[in-house]
Chain A
Amino acid sequence: MRKNWLLFKIYLLAGTLTFSGGMAMLPTIERVVVNKYHLMSRADLYEYSTLSQTLPGVIALTNACFIGKKVNGRSGMIFAGLGAVLPAFVLMSLATTAYQLVPKEGIALSILGAIRAASAAFLFSAAYSLARYNLSDKLSVLLALGCFLLTVLSVASAPTLIIGAAVVGITSTFVKRQRDQKKG
């Protein structure tokens, strides 16, 4: 039980102090889990972190579940997971309540309008940085362009395109493997 509360506390703190999800938490987690409490080895932590990024689901939560389960079994997983989700949920729930109270007229609407434009800018910026890391060959550029056009022209929905892209990824990797095997 002591280990469970420790896991809960570690993830609660890390979750409150990290603004974006994914691997942004990793440095904090590494410092506490590996250096301070010696709950697991650095190599294990890195391996689970890489893995979290390949499985479906919320990356930061998957990572918390891996660490929790490794340290203290199923109950450790639940406590770490809860710690990882709780700050995001509580703070967002409060923010949503506050947001609902903001009048959507007059100067507040003018401010909100400008912030919405900033939101659009953030998404363009996100698309740009994702493109820099993930568009490395012709096929990937084609996939990105195809998904963009099909969505904008409302030909296909995002879930359909994600599944389609997964099939393309599997097929192309399979073909590549076959070719490599023939070669040698």
Chain B
Amino acid sequence: MLNVFLAFLKIGFLGFGGGYAMLSLIFAESARFGLSVQQFADLTALDGLIPGPIAINSATYIGQMYGGFWTGVAATLAVSVPSMIFVPLYMHFETRIKNNWLLSAILNGIKPAAVGLILAVALSLLLTTVFGINDIFSLAQAHVDWVSIVVLVLVLGLDLKWHTNPVLLMLLAGVIGAVAFYL
């Protein structure tokens, strides 16, 4: 439980720039807690279905999967710690930090980095779901799952073009999966 707490503490303090930046950190740590890429993909789906910030949802899921309910509580608390520390600190030193260029300079670096990091996570999920391999080095063993390709292209297209409701898109994916089972 302590390991989970410390991991999510680290994720919280390095978690600049929002949920998706944090999600790549969470992905990097999740393997350490016995989470497969498939289970991480399921987490991403649940993130979309359940209300609330991605980081809180993910901490709850990973903690609970790893060590039960209370480990989920510990992970959620840990990822909440930075807010509880920085807010009082900021309000105490308000005038001195107000014109601080450092914070925005850090974000100038992290925000573009987050694009690359989340793209790498997306590729990881693509390799696992569509090609059945765990990393780019095992491309030789890849075997294509056509149902997954159809779902991926369809969902990506609908999401980018018409911003279709993600819950609806997941339902659509589920229906395709069910139909494919009988084909």
Interface residues of A (CB under 8 A from B): 15-22, 51, 53-62, 64-66, 69-70, 74, 77, 81, 85, 87-89, 91-93, 95-97, 99-100, 106-107, 110-128, 130-131, 134-135, 139-141, 143-149, 151-154, 157-159, 161-170, 172-174, 177
Contacts and interface: CB of A to CB of B under 8 A. Distances in A.
Nearest to B58: A92
A184 B126 CA distance: 51
A110 B174 CA distance: 8
Contacts of A127: 20, 115, 118-119, 122
Given A117-B130, A122-B159, A96 B52 contact: no
B61 A125 contact: no
Interface string B82-96: 111011101100000
Nearest to A174: B105
Contacts of A149: 116
Nearest to A167: B109
B60 A114 contact: no
Interface string B157-183: 001100000100110111011101100
A128 B160 contact: yes
B152 A117 contact: yes
Contacts of B125: 116, 119-120, 123
A183 B49 CA distance: 52
Interface of A is mostly: helix
Nearest to A158: B28
B38 interface: yes
B118 to A, nearest CB: 5
A88 to B, nearest CB: 2
A177 B116 CA distance: 26
A77 B92 CA distance: 14
**Which of B46, B50, B61, B121 is the most central at the interface, judged by chain A CB atoms within 10 Å of its CB?**
B50
B21 to A, nearest CB: 8
B105 A173 contact: yes
Interface residues of B, number: 104
A126 B113 contact: no
B138 interface: no
27 contacts: A20-B53, A53-B18, A54-B104, A56-B82, A62-B87, A69-B87, A74-B88, A88-B51, A88-B56, A96-B46, A113-B129, A116-B125, A117-B129, A117-B151, A117-B173, A118-B172, A123-B125, A147-B116, A147-B120, A148-B115, A151-B24, A158-B28, A159-B10, A162-B25, A166-B110, A169-B106, A172-B108
Nearest to A59: B18
Contacts of A158: 24-25, 27-28, 117
Nearest to B94: A51
Contacts of A112: 38, 42, 177
